[in-house]
Amino acid sequence: MLFNCQRAETIMARHGLNALVAASPDNVLYATDYECVTHWLNKGFQLYSLFSPGHDPVASLIAPELELDAIVDGDVWVEDVYLFSPFARGPAQLDAMDQTGRAAKALVERAHPVARALDGLVAAIESRGLEGGRIGVDESGISPLFWWELQQRLPNVDIVYANAIWWEIRMVKTDAEIERLTRASEITEASIKAALRLVKPGITEREVINAYHSEITARGGRSTFCILGSGSRTAQPHALASDKVIEDGDLIRYDIGCTYGYYHADNARAMVLGPPSGEQNRIWEAMAEGVDRAVDLMRPGADVRDVYRAAMAPGQRLDLENFERFHCGHGIGVSVYDPPVITLADPATSAFLMPAVKGGLEAGMTFSIEVGYYIQGVMGFLCEDTVVVTETGVRRLTGNSKSLDFEAFID
């Protein structure tokens, strides 16, 4: 189970909640271990889970009957299931079915049939006698229309916004989550090194990117993104894949990720295909030093503002024009961007809409720490490592070379 039930109960008690509803793909996945393919394909699709400590059952999953096989074939721990949107299947004798087919048939027989996802959520709430309770609902995944209908059907329930509460629960990872994050980082770093070993003057960026994606799959990961640019295209923070030819002397910058068991990797480096210039060395060393200084400061109780200042200090000493960053790192988990955010500002009022950290870092928090600098239309740098905060300090999950020398990097 990925879900940290104990942490969830503690945080829910602090907010005075009787139950907590997940609605976004990330939160439902985290809460139940259920990956709904339809949820990812159809952004407006409604799917919920309910967690209510002190009740039996403690959790419910409201899922489409189309995907009942995925429920029984996966690692879903929730036993109480509401199936909506009936999906007909051809009949078969029990002895002709495979194990998944038999388990799916049994699930249909014991599950609660409902017409729509919201009907299942209302039924799960009513079955617990919570018509007068206080329930946190993940507003990030429920449509305004269904939010309104939920209020109309349960007029005595105190329904509160709960996406920030889910963020808070997910801030601290369990050992099982950290194992997946560790493997995801290992896969990305091995894959980019293998792909970059193909680089020579004349190869295109797209060929390197395609090789990276293939390597990820071969190593058991699921490829998510590979931002790779060369020459002046390194100045584009989120450069799209292109057929630009990589040339001798080019600066190459990557920012890559994958998932392993639904948990993300996110790391970045830069290197030069040939001797780097003095300016390139000067800037890169400041970016890499900033990451290292920030990581060295991280431990339980550390203030994210101090970590941010440490990350920015080397670059600021160079007097780089417009060297400004909103953040120098972010949490990572079932989302590439999990809280907390390493920033001086309040992330809750920013584009991130994430809760701020109160009381300093905690053991079990995982971060991608990053420092970058981009000169418009000329060149750009990004150095990014992934770490986990431990009881005594920090442990790096990434280890690729920070050398700007291409040959030293791929060695």
Domain residue limits, the chain: 5-170, 175-410
230 strand-pairing partners: 252
Q: Tell me the CATH number for domain 5-170.
A: 3.40.350.10
Could you list the beta-strand ranges (E) of 190-289.
222-230, 251-260, 263-264, 267-272
Distance between CA atoms of 279 and 375, rounded to whole angstroms?
12
The structure tokens listed for 21 are 């509803």
pLDDT beyond 80 at 43: no
The pLDDT value recorded for residue 55 is 96
Mean pLDDT of 336-359: 89
**Local confidence band at 305 (pLDDT 50, 70, 90 cut-offs):** very high
What digits encode the pLDDT tens for the residues 137-183? Answer: 999 999 999 999 999 999 999 999 999 999 999 999 999 999 999 99
Distance between CA atoms of 235 and 231, rounded to whole angstroms?
8
Domains 5-170 and 175-410 belong to one CATH topology: no
The pLDDT value recorded for residue 348 is 86
Helix spans in 264-344 (H): 278-297, 304-317
The overall average pLDDT reported for the chain is 95
Q: What percent of the chain has pLDDT over 90?
A: 90
**Local confidence band at 40 (pLDDT 50, 70, 90 cut-offs):** confident
The pLDDT value recorded for residue 94 is 80
CATH of 175-410, one of 3.30.9.10, 3.90.230.10, 1.20.120.420, 3.30.360.10: 3.90.230.10
The pLDDT value recorded for residue 324 is 94
The pLDDT value recorded for residue 239 is 96
